[in-house]
Amino acid sequence: GGKAIGASLFGLENRWGKLPVTMYPHSFIQEKAMTDYDMTSSPGRTYRYYTGTPLFAFGHGLSLTTYTLSCREGAPRSRDFTCTVWNTGDRSGDEVVQVYHSAQHLGHVDHPLPKRALIDFVRVTVPAGGSSDVSFHVAEDALKVVNKEGTRVLYPGRHTLIFSRGHGEENIFEVEVPKPKEELIFA
């Protein structure tokens, strides 16, 4: 009750959180009619399609401590990654490592592609002055995008994986999806 609220108000507890929405600047209401629910029409809606600079982005969060993030890829083409979260502050806390997929460099497709889409996340507790590792395997299914018929499709080409804390530095990796091999059918 009261003791818990007091501990939070006076910084004795490290309360934190991440935004589940994008906070737009005031100018957004002049740029897009509130009755226009098309996510992709300029300037876009949600973190997936918004092309402006948000006041606070989806996944942004605050803490009473500070962190840095560094990620590395495992074996080539394995789509295995390990991220290290360092707590550079003087109190323990939790951080969330978020993994986004971007397929903006695929070339011409007949439907909008999101700027990024959240495909995975892990919450990790990190002691003051310490570090914690988190591992991710990005399955091929996570690289699919929804086409104009509403079907999830895996496009060949260059895909981007973005590892983030929701703000600050991002770790970016390119992965290549090969073109499917043509099957020869003999009659």
Question: pLDDT of 146-175, one tens digit each?
Answer: 999 999 999 999 999 999 999 989 999 999
Would you state the pLDDT for residue 187?
A: 65
How far apart are the C-alpha atoms of 56 and 34, rounded to whole Å?
Answer: 19
pLDDT tens digit sequence for 16-67: 889 999 999 999 988 888 888 888 889 988 999 999 999 999 999 989 999 9
The helix (H) or strand (E) run that includes residue 9 is helix 2-9
Q: Residue 184's pLDDT is what?
A: 67
Task: Tell me if the pTM is above 0.85.
Answer: yes
3-state helix vs strand vs coil in the chain, percent to 5: 10, 35, 55
